Amino acid sequence: MAQVLVVDDSSTVRNEVCDFLKANG
């Protein structure tokens, strides 16, 4: 999972993670 966070677009990934967390919790 952590490896997926290692991307060029850190802000985009952060948004995706935020959405993911919101959807799950």
In tens, the pLDDT along 1-25 reads 556 655 566 778 888 888 988 998 7
**Domain parsing of the chain, residue ranges:** 1-25
pLDDT at 7: 59
pLDDT at 14: 84
What CA–CA distance (Å, rounded) separates 17 from 20? 5
Provide the 8-state DSSP code for 16. H
pLDDT at 17: 87
